[in-house]
A and B are shown apart, each in its own frame.
Chain A
Amino acid sequence: MDRRNFFGFSGVALAAMLHRDGYCADAKWAPPDGKPHHAPKAKSVIWLFMNGGVSHMETFDPKPALTKFAGKTIKESPVPDAQDPEKLALARVTVINDANGQQRNKLYPLQVGFKKYGKSGIEVSDWLPHTGSCIDDIALIRSMWTTDDNHGAQTQFHTGRHMLDGEYPTLGAWVHYGLGSLNDNLPQFVSMGNREYWNIKDGHYLGPAHDAVPIRVDPANPLDYGKPEVPVTTAEQKAGFELSGKLNKLREKEYPGDAALDARIKSYELAFKMQKSLPELLDFGKETEETKKLYGIDRNETKAFGMQLLASRRLVERGVRFIQIQHGAGGAGVWDAHGGLKANHTRNCLAVDQPIGGLLKDLKRTGLLKDTIVVFCTEFGRTPGTQGSDGRDHHIYGFSVWMAGGGLKGGIVHGATDEIGFHAVEDRHYVTDVHATILHQLGLDSRKLEIPGRKRLDIDHGSAIKEIIA
């Protein structure tokens, strides 16, 4: 009960909501008790999402055939049937226009070289040397697919549902709902960076209590209303806070057993603690210069993302469950390289690579990596064919993501795309398999989290990728 602190109470809030709507005729149903369903291998998740769509071929899935057959059509390539209509049938088109989501059939050569890294000798792009240097801790999946060929796929990657299906809880919301808290002073599900295209909510039918709390890496202003917008001394505010607490407690006499009143009293206690702990958490004064450098905080190009990742480590240290970071503001996401792919990906890789390498190394040396899953993901890949003269379009049929830590294997490649990077052909995975893998490592069974009146399909649950679990 103690561990079910206030955020845990939100599970009870959902129960109350379902109950009020008459869903709980099924008396067997109860909200999760915050305990895992099976022995967990990981406690926290750092979720790095690249807005806009990262080219798998220029990052983690090298395809020399693209260079060899550059300028040739797909029909003339080693995979001539890649664009047969039945092979493209999984696409569910939302946006029809010329600018994106089109079949591009003239192959575009690789824009970057690759090198083998680590004992595993896995090839990683020359744009990502720091990530490459951690490859022996990374489980790389080269066989992802999704169905929305526009940026609604951002939502899809987080919920498992195409945007035409409506709004569904995101993975972070499920984790928050299922596990609750390890720390009473901090929100347990936080979000940093811009959400470009997708909805800003996470909880949806689980309720707003399971939305991520957006925070900024700014000790002076870490979250909305995190400190008085009109200056007031701490002493004065504290006195006011305490007074309202006392007055609320006095009302318990007149309203015995009023669950909302109790919850409100607790919410005020937690709010006050959060207001104090967040600035401390985001103050990097006690971090060494070496650590800051490791994350690239000393360089303009890498500073913003580096600070978010250093904050993530500090959040994980304090037991925060799920840290969701979106990289890349602007347009539908900064990685969306319809044109000028080389310049775009050079710049964006530079911005994230050192911070990511730094995070993995730092988590490893502090022993946190074994309990923490780091995920690198994006909504889809990019087309093997060229768009315009120097870009790549959206591509849903095959792309790459990776995970590290939290009881997962390192230095392995799982799944593969065909010779030109078009279709995932080996060990294909829909996005919810990533969810299932994470939930499994956290000790959760998504089927046991299902709530009355909200039937989920098999594909919503996905299947854990056993091959990458240590």
Chain B
Amino acid sequence: MRFLGFALVLLLPLSAQAADPVDYRKDVKPVLQERCYACHGALAQKAKLRVDSGANLLKGKVIIPGKPDDSELILRVSAENEAQRMPPEGHALKPEQIAKLKAWIEQGAKVPADDAPEPDPLAHWAFRAPVKDARPRLAANENPIDHFVQAKWKELGLKPVAPAEQRVLLRRVYLDLIGLPPTAEQTEAFVKDAAPDAYEKVVDALLASPQYGERWGRHFLDIWRYSDWWGLGAELRNSQRHIWHWRDWTIENFNADLSYAEMIRQMLAADELYPTDEKKLRATGYLARSYFLFNRTSWLDEVVEHSGKGFLGLTFNCCKCHDHKYDPIKQTDYYQFRAIFEPYQLRTDLIPGEPDATKAGIPRAFDCNLDVKTPFHIRGDERNPDKDRAVLPDLPKFLKPDGLKVTPVKLPPEAYQPLRRPEIAMTYRVAVETKIVAARANLAKSEATHAGRFVLVRLALIAPHHRAVAVLAAEIAALEDAFADPTKAPLALRGAVKSAESNVESAASKSRPYPETSTGRRSSLANWISDAKNPLTARVAVNHLWLRHFGKPLVANVFEFGRKGSSPTHPELLDWLAVEFAEKKWSLKHLHKLMVTSNVYRLSSSSANAEASARIDPENRALWRMNSTRLDANAIRDSLLHLAGELDTTMSGPPVLAAAQEASRRRSMYFFHSHNDHNKLLDIFDNANVLECYRRSESIVPQQALALWNSRLAQTMAAKINDRLHAKLKDADDAKFVTAAFETVLGTSPTKDELATCLESLAELRAALKAVAEPEQGKRTRLQLVQALINHNDFVTVR
């Protein structure tokens, strides 16, 4: 409507370069698309105007071919008055862009014959249900992945490279599935196994090993933003204590192959779906992670943003301040989505045997404020809520036309009065009784010690012990009262400790009883996300898996499946896998196996002698070879320990604190890791950023070289690997040693050139160390070889 408010505006004196013919497709359409389509295209038609095609521009009467100076489009984009200028947000168009628009109109506003308006946003591929392509006629035992990838090769005239050498393949699949390389013995056994299903057996064994859950659980904890707590000094400001229970839940359930849909349900709503199942309640650590002491809006912004990006590949965060510029998500939808989470707060449920929730407990979500209103922040400014607007929980219309159906959930009493759980009552009882036994013993001791003294003195001396016993007796009485009527239990005896509500915790909110019902909002959301009919969930998950198996995703931006994102490189394949995933009960292991047993996965990553394919598809989008990837920080450290025979495979439990990490031999995922606390070594290799980590960075910086040469860990592990090799090959010649060292550290045998180079270096080193006596000399010489191999590019690379 602003557009129709006419005002003649002085034109900037722009030189319309009428002489140069303007290409609509190159110079006009992209500018309009970038700056105008969001409001005047398929998504919105403000002032009933669309500018997304030549025909629409004419229909809207904003251009008059041949008369740029009379065309509303030009008047508007070049208006000096900000109130008149289009676009209203951001910078004005650049003078050269305006000049092109003018010249184009001057030259008759010609458009190509096939010029078409923007397609309907709802027709966007990712917003429509995936379809399993009926066409593929799979040969017997043909992997559908191969079928689709081959089709692409054929289309582009690509010739795939040869399969990877067996040793390379084995190291690849080990690191991929369990985050640890095979030992030399495992490699030998595989190379010697002539059975046709030798590889499949390995895959099955790896998927069944507990290290699988650690490896893939950690991948998803990246996406779900796992972080231990942090704050300022001892003050907790972010995440929660004991959040590692959620980490353990993740590992256990990856190992158990719990359906991905069910994982989502438990993380978002276990407190409504399984209100008394403490094992499942650990899953809501996902919601506890985003806790922020100081600002509830920041807290929920993160939940909204990352639930959108992580589960759905939607960027809700783009519409906090205004309607989404690319997708049919309104600003209202942002706050409606937030409203789903609005009632939830956190509490730490006691663990039987430990009455102090700071020492142990399970941080979990629960609906605390059932009627709390969700604000609508005008232009996203929390200081400026729209007081007249009621925001109710809902989902964007285009995804859920019939709206989110919410049914409140009645909770069992043990859920909202955990003191009713006998094991929790017992925990309190045992704690006090232990104390009272000790106090009585002290009293008896005191009485005995002072037995011979004058009565008044004696009474004075034992009085404190009497008082201690009395205090504890009163505590027991209070406990008995609380057991008799848990509704009246004092805060300290509730069996669960509430985390302070962001910004608004008051005496009243602190002591309010836990509600007897839950709103049902989150379980409703969880059921919708995990519904096989949801067009996004399975595709997003498949893409994450594909990225980690193949080194590149099918959809380039793993958290952006909206219209701003890229199209999949293999759309039919993505859809096929997404449907298959849901059909096979959302089994991740099923998908893993499909992927790693495909022929594509087993290709070599070398592009030697493949110039023709490299020319056609230099980025390997069509997967005519495997991608090389850099190992992530966890796998680098874990591999070092593993090859040295030092890895402590203890699973689960509280994280290893910073001070103990240097000496610890546990897997890296068990290290305390938060925004403030990072392990130095892991950090250098781009450890997960706890704020957002949909993909790890793969930087290559000199500090990595220094860390692998100079860190105590790398040096010590190199020495241990050397020791182990020496134990077997002390008397063997250098050539044998070099071969064994290669096979141990890199998983492959050396080439002739590599062997020669190593032998030459060893000879030089030996000469330099001639003053050192044997056997020390030989060992030190060979140690440098082992260290050089740890610093080999292919140690930190999966080929």
Contacts and interface: CB of A to CB of B under 8 A. Distances in A.
Interface string A236-250: 110111111011101
A318 B47 CA distance: 60
B97 interface: no
Contacts of A275: 706, 710
Interface stretch (B484-492, B577-585, B791-799): B791-799
A96 interface: yes
B557 A253 contact: no
Interface in A170-228: 187, 197, 199-200, 207-209, 213, 223-228
B615 to A, nearest CB: 11
A225 B566 contact: no
A70 interface: no
Interface centre among B560, B684, B691, B697 (most CB of A within 10 A): B697
A23 interface: yes
Contacts of B695: 20-21
B17 interface: no
Given A260-B630, A267-B701, A227 B710 contact: yes
A13 interface: yes
Given A239-B764, A250-B753, A271-B702, 7 more contacts: A13-B700, A22-B556, A94-B295, A225-B707, A225-B711, A243-B785, A248-B793
Interface residues of A, number: 66
A213 B792 contact: no
Interface string B291-307: 00011001000000000
A271 B703 contact: yes
B595 to A, nearest CB: 19
Contact of B691 (A166, A187, A240, A250): A166
B166 interface: no
A25 B761 contact: no
B557 A237 contact: no
Interface in B91-129: none
Given A225-B709, A244-B789, A250-B757, A236 B784 contact: yes
A236 B764 CA distance: 10
Contact of A213 (B232, B558, B703, B787): B703
A247 B605 CA distance: 18
A95 interface: yes
A85 interface: no
A96 B797 contact: no
Contact of A207 (B556, B566, B697): B697
B667 to A, nearest CB: 22
Contacts of A127: none
Interface in B207-239: 232
Interface centre among B560, B704, B784 (most CB of A within 10 A): B784
Contacts of B513: none
Contact of B709 (A22, A228, A255, A258): A228
A469 interface: no
B628 A255 contact: yes
A271 B675 contact: no
A21 B556 contact: yes
A369 B715 CA distance: 43
Nearest to B298: A164
A414 to B, nearest CB: 28
Contacts of A281: none
A174 B555 CA distance: 29
Interface stretch (B62-70, B145-153, B187-195, B606-614): B606-614
A208 B699 contact: yes
A164 B710 CA distance: 38
A114 to B, nearest CB: 35
A270 B757 CA distance: 22
B761 A225 contact: no
A226 B710 contact: yes
Contacts of B606: 254-255
Interface centre among A224, A237, A263 (most CB of B within 10 A): A224
A264 interface: yes
A167 interface: yes
B506 interface: no
B294 A239 contact: no
B710 A268 contact: no
Given A236-B768, A253-B608, A246 B757 contact: yes
A25 B566 contact: yes
A164 to B, nearest CB: 5
A229 interface: yes
B788 A244 contact: yes
Interface in B365-404: none
Nearest to B678: A200
B787 A240 contact: yes
Given A207-B699, A225-B706, A248-B793, A239 B607 contact: no
Contacts of A199: 675
Interface of B: 232, 294-295, 298, 503, 552, 555-558, 560, 565-566, 605-608, 614, 628, 630, 675, 678, 680, 684, 686, 691, 695, 697-707, 709-712, 715-716, 719, 751, 753-754, 757-758, 761, 764-765, 768-769, 780, 784-785, 787-789, 791-794, 796-797
7 contacts: A164-B295, A226-B710, A236-B769, A250-B753, A255-B608, A260-B793, A274-B706
Given A209-B699, A255-B607, A228 B557 contact: no
A94 B566 CA distance: 37
A263 B704 CA distance: 12
Given A20-B552, A209-B699, A239 B793 contact: no
A272 to B, nearest CB: 8
B791 A244 contact: yes
A268 B753 contact: no
A161 to B, nearest CB: 13
A367 interface: no
A20 B627 CA distance: 13
Interface in A246-297: 246-248, 250-251, 253-258, 260-261, 263-265, 267-268, 270-272, 274-275
Interface centre among B605, B675, B753, B791 (most CB of A within 10 A): B791
Contacts of A213: 703
A1 interface: no
Contact of A94 (B294, B560, B698, B700): B294
Contacts of A332: 232
A223 B706 CA distance: 10
A128 to B, nearest CB: 30
Contacts of A17: 697
Contacts of A271: 702-706, 709
B379 to A, nearest CB: 13
Contacts of B565: 22
Contacts of A94: 294-295
A10 interface: yes
Contacts of A264: 700, 705, 793, 796
B466 to A, nearest CB: 40
Given A207-B697, A239-B761, A250-B754, A258 B702 contact: no
A258 B628 contact: yes
A6 interface: yes
A22 B553 CA distance: 10
B748 to A, nearest CB: 10
A449 B751 CA distance: 45
Nearest to B675: A199
A235 interface: yes
Contact of B793 (A21, A197, A242, A251): A251
A166 to B, nearest CB: 7
Contacts of B614: 257
Q: What 8 pairs between A and B have smallest CB-CB spacing?
A: A22-B556, A271-B705, A22-B566, A271-B702, A240-B784, A229-B712, A244-B788, A225-B706
A258 B700 CA distance: 13
A13 B699 contact: yes
A225 B552 contact: no
Nearest to B294: A94
Interface in A1-41: 6, 9-10, 13, 17, 20-23, 25
A470 interface: no
Contacts of A230: 712, 715-716, 719
